[in-house]
Amino acid sequence: MRALLAPDLRLADAPDPQPQRDEAVVAVSAFSLNRGESRRVSGDPDGEIPGWDVAGVVETAAADGSGPSRRTRVVGLMTRGAWAERVAVRTRDLAVLPDVVTDEQAATLPVAGVTALLALDLYGNPLERRVLVTGATGGVGRFAVQLGHLAGARVTALVRRRETADALFALGAEQVATDVAQPEGAGFDLAVEGVGGPVLAAALQALAPGGTLISFAQTADEPTSFATRTLYGKGVRIRGLLVFPETRARDGAGPLLERLVALVAAGRLDTQIRDVLSWREALAAVQRLLAGAVDGKLVLRVD
């Protein structure tokens, strides 16, 4: 089969996957790019296949009888190796796709959508809670704004560029801010924080007493500094979130993907696809994403 190989993302021959008994072999038709895997590619070992998100069709069902049967359309989360014609995916990390959800839409969901959904699940019921989403223009951020709004939260989207405000209001943000400073006593119940550095410190400061900050990234390459009284003074909590161990500790990514797929199928969740390109353009696409020139998700088709 063919696959994209690190570190230069050349399209080359690679061995076919050897599935474990609980893994289905999926013929991949599309995947999306995430900042995390894109950032790692240049440092990955020579010949390694990167990639976390897959959408496609089951070519061989799992030997243990679990999961979808041959020819079923699916979306899945992998810890590596997704940027290939064929992949072996644990059936617990797969969800079935209805006809109304395209492979391109589905391909945006695994890392970005599941991370946003987990952040909200970890907090609990956000109905009428004030939720801050930092890095709101990003892949995860756009899902977090929409899912928070759908769950009944009052979402404030934190952005760097004011001109992105209309797009975030359209996704359900009640407020769009370029600064998180809050008046005393009017803080956020939850911060879904994916920027790090000084933004994490400002988001902590802006929490209401007893509030929760869920930290899932250090996108800004700067240290975070805050007075410890910010924590104990208001009894706030910080919770780290990494999508892979978090889904492993649950029933896999499948049940989370099922919920996201259902929302897309119902037209309630927009996957924010900015462009669909050929996987032959992977290197340029990764460079474009890392340069910050993508407002939304880039999807690559395995053609």
Ligand X SMILES: NC(=O)c1ccc[n+]([C@@H]2O[C@H](COP(=O)([O-])OP(=O)(O)OC[C@H]3O[C@@H](n4cnc5c(N)ncnc54)[C@H](OP(=O)(O)O)[C@@H]3O)[C@@H](O)[C@H]2O)c1
Nearer to ligand X, 62 or 173 (CB): 173
One of 57, 96, 122, 242 touching ligand X (CB under 6 A): 242
The C-alpha atoms of residue 290 and residue 34 are separated, in whole angstroms, by 9
Nearer to ligand X, 70 or 160 (CB): 160
Q: Does 292 bind ligand X (CB under 6 A)?
A: yes
One of 57, 150, 220, 276 touching ligand X (CB under 6 A): 220
Element (H, E) at 285: helix 282-290
Stretch that binds ligand X, among 74-82, 99-107, 134-142, 262-270 (CB under 6 A): 134-142
Q: Does 219 bind ligand X (CB under 6 A)?
A: yes
Per-residue binder mask for ligand X (CB under 6 A), 180-199, x = binder: --------------xx---x
Binders of ligand X: how many residues, by CB under 6 A?
26
| 86 contacts 53 by C-beta, under 8 angstroms | no
- Which amino acid is it at 291? A
One of 110, 138, 187, 252 touching ligand X (CB under 6 A): 138
Q: Does 155 bind ligand X (CB under 6 A)?
A: no
Q: Does 140 bind ligand X (CB under 6 A)?
A: yes
Q: Does 17 bind ligand X (CB under 6 A)?
A: no
Stretch that binds ligand X, among 13-21, 63-71, 137-145, 227-235 (CB under 6 A): 137-145
Shortest Cβ contact with ligand X: which residue? 138
Element (H, E) at 134: none
> What is the 8-class DSSP label of residue 267?
T
The C-alpha atoms of residue 146 and residue 271 are separated, in whole angstroms, by 10
Q: Does 135 bind ligand X (CB under 6 A)?
A: yes
DSSP class per residue in 166-190: HHHHHTT-SEEES-----TT--EEE
The C-alpha atoms of residue 198 and residue 221 are separated, in whole angstroms, by 10
One of 157, 213, 243, 263 touching ligand X (CB under 6 A): 243
Q: Does 161 bind ligand X (CB under 6 A)?
A: yes
Rg (CA), the chain: 19
Q: Does 36 bind ligand X (CB under 6 A)?
A: yes
- Strands of the chain (E only): list them: 2-5, 10-13, 23-32, 53-60, 73-77, 86-90, 94-96, 130-133, 154-158, 175-177, 188-193, 207-215, 237-240, 273-278, 297-301
Nearer to ligand X, 63 or 170 (CB): 170
Element (H, E) at 153: none
Stretch that binds ligand X, among 73-81, 124-132, 180-188, 215-223 (CB under 6 A): 215-223
Buried b / exposed e over 30-58, threshold 16 CB at 10 Å, is bbbbbbbbbeebeebeeebbbbbbbbbbb
One of 105, 115, 146, 182 touching ligand X (CB under 6 A): 115
The C-alpha atoms of residue 177 and residue 141 are separated, in whole angstroms, by 14
Min dist CB 173 to ligand X, Å, is 13
Residues that bind ligand X (CB under 6 A): 34-36, 111-112, 115, 135, 137-141, 160-161, 194-195, 199, 216-217, 219-220, 241-243, 289, 292
